[in-house]
Amino acid sequence: MAHSETDEGLNATQVVDGDEKEVLNEEDLLGEGNQHMDWKENEELKLEEMSVRTVEEAANWMVLRNKQIRSPDVHLMIHSIVVQKDVGDAEKVEALKMFAAECPMVAKAVMNGTIQEKEWKAAAEEVKKEVEERLKPKKTVIREPEILIGPRMGIKGKGLLEMREANADGWVDRYDFEQVQTAVFLLTLTVDEEKNKRTGDVIEKLAREVKEVVVCPFRMECTFAEVPVVTETWKRTLMTAANAIWIEPMKCVGAKQMPMITTAPERFKTVKELADFLEAVMPSGGIVEMLKKDLEKEPPSKRSRPSHQNPTTPYSYEGYSEVQEIWLSTCYPLNSSLIVPKDKLKTQIKLQIAHITEQIYPHLVSRVAESIIRLLNDNVQKETSNVTVFHFVGIFKGRHFEPYIENMGHDAWMVTLLDTEQIQKVAQVVDRLSNVPVVPPLESLKHLGVLLARGDFRISMIVEQYLRQASGHLLSDLLSSYLCLLEDDTTDARLGALKALAIFDNPRISKQITYVAEHDTSEDVCRFATSMLRGFEEEVTRI
C-alpha cells in the first residue's frame, strides 16, 4: 500500500492498491494535524452553510446542526474538542453516507470493510448493513400458519405452494416464512441421488425457517421394492434437521389398509382429493383442517370440479396448467391478477420452460423466452410494458405447451445458425428443413429471406435450392408465410420476402406485390416489387 502526503494531509485519491488488503487507518481517515483525509483533491463537500473536507468535519458539523447552533464561528467550532466529544454513531453514519455519495474512495472503503478504526468501524458497518439490506430481493410474505408444498398439482388453495424441480435452487429464499408454524412437504421417492440432494437441501433450508416440517412421501419414481432403501436414505438425510418429521411411506392407510405411497393419485384434481389423502395420512394435521374450511366456503358445484376447468378464469382450463402456473407465479408476488409487467412475466417463462429447452438447447432458454415475449408485441401491446392475461393465454390457445416450446427451441437454434451467415451452418439448417415436409416457423423463414436480401451468392444458392424444390401443401404454406412477412417492420425482412416470392414466380400474387410497390416505405422494396410486376407482365405476354 502506497501513501502520498501533502501539506494538508493524506489525500484519499493517492492511496493505491498493492498486494496487501487496502485498509484505511486513522491516519487516512481522521487523525490529527496532517492526518485528515482529503476525499477529493482541491474539492469540498458542501453542506448547508459551509464546506467540509473530511468525514470528521462533517460529523462535527452535524453535532452543531442538531444543537441548532448557527454562529459566525462555526468554522472554528467544528474543530473544537468539545464538539468532537459529542459526536455519536448517528452523526458518523450520516457523515459516511454523505461522503460515500460523492467520493468513490470512501464508498469503496465502507463496502469493503477496510475502515478499521474503533471510532468509525461500527458506523461504517452500519452503513454497509443498510446498503446490503436494500439490495436483498423482496420476499413474499406467507401469512398462513399451516402450508403445504408440493410439485405442480393444478389446484389452488390457501396455503398451497408449488415447487418445480427446476426452481428448487433459491426457492425457499423467495418467501418469508416467519408466520408459518408447520410446513407439509409432499415428496416424490426416487433413487436419483442428484434429485434427492437438491430436494434435501430445500427441506433443510425450510426447516431453519419454520417450527416444524412434515415430510410426506406421496409418489414414487422408483420400484416398490426400492421404497425401503430410499426411505432409509431419507431418514439419514433428515437426521440433521431436528424439527423434521418423517411419515413412513409403507404406513397402511384407508379402509383397505394399503401402503400410503400407493394411495395418492398421479395428480390431485381437486382440493377435496388432496384433503382426503392428507386426512388418511395425518388425520390430526392442521393443514387438513385448513383445506376443509376452504371447501366449506366453496359452492357445491366447485367442490367436485377441477379448478383448471373453472370457466370464469380465463387462464384456467384443460391443458393449460403450464400457462396457468407461469401467470400465477408472476402475479402472486405482485398482488395482481389481470395485468403484469413483461419483464416479470419473462422471468417466470424462463423458469417454466427451462426443463423443456435445456434438454436439447441449454444455451437457448433466454432466447426462447424472448421469442414468446415478442409474440406479445403486436400493434396493440408493443408500446406498453405490461401484458394482460387474455393476450398471454391467446398465444398458447390451441397449442400443446411442451411440443410448442420444443418447436420454439428448434426455431431459436436454426435462427442462431442462420445469423452467423456462415455457409456450412446455413447449409446445415437448410438440410434439416429439407428433410421435414412441413413449413418452418415464421422466424426461420424470415431469416432465410434476410439472407437472400443480403445478396451473398453462395448462401443465396443454398436457400434458393430449398425454396425451388417445395411442392404441394409445403409450397402453398411457404407462399402464404412470405406474403405475411411483407408486413414485417424491418426492411431486410420485407425485401427478403419479396426475393423468396420471386423464386416461386407465381403471378397470382401480383395484387399483393402491386400494393407493396405503391405503399412500402422503403425505396429498395418498392423498386424490387416493381421489377417483379414487370416480370409477371412479360410472362403473361409470352403465354
| Maximum separation of any 2 CA atoms in the chain, in Å | 108
Which of 507, 481, 417, 491 minimizes the C-alpha distance to 453? 491
Please tell me the number of Cα atoms within 13 Å of 475 on its side-chain side.
9
Dist. CA 81–CA 77, nearest whole Å: 9
Residue carrying C-alpha cell 427451441: 409
The one-character DSSP state at 16 is: B
Distances (CA, A) of 330 to 123, 148, 157: 39, 20, 17
Q: What is the pLDDT along the chain (543 residues), one digit of tens a residue?
A: 333 333 333 333 333 334 444 444 444 444 443 344 443 333 455 665 667 777 777 777 777 777 777 667 777 777 777 777 788 888 888 888 887 877 788 888 888 888 777 778 888 888 888 877 777 667 788 888 888 888 877 677 778 888 887 777 888 888 888 888 888 898 889 898 888 888 888 888 888 888 899 898 988 888 888 888 998 999 888 887 778 888 888 888 877 677 888 888 777 777 888 888 888 887 666 777 787 777 666 555 444 444 443 433 444 444 457 888 888 888 877 877 788 888 888 888 888 888 888 777 878 888 888 888 888 776 555 567 888 888 888 888 877 888 888 888 888 888 888 888 898 888 888 888 888 777 888 888 888 988 888 888 888 898 888 888 888 888 888 888 888 888 888 889 899 888 888 888 887 888 888 888 888 888 888 988 888 888 776 655 554
Q: Do residues 56 and 36 touch, judged by C-beta distance below 8 A? A: yes
Q: Do residues 330 and 143 touch, judged by C-beta distance below 8 A? A: no
Q: At what angle do helices 401-419 and 365-376 cross, to 10 degrees?
A: 100
Cβ neighbour number for residue 498 with a 10 Å cutoff = 26
Pairing assessment for the beta strands 212-220 and 182-189 based on DSSP bridges: parallel
Residue carrying C-alpha cell 452553510: 49
Dist. CA 268–CA 275, nearest whole Å: 10
First to last CA, the chain: 89
Burial of 75 (0-12, 13-18, 19+ CB in 10 A): middle
Cβ neighbour number for residue 33 with a 10 Å cutoff = 8
Q: Do residues 73 and 83 touch, judged by C-beta distance below 8 A? A: no
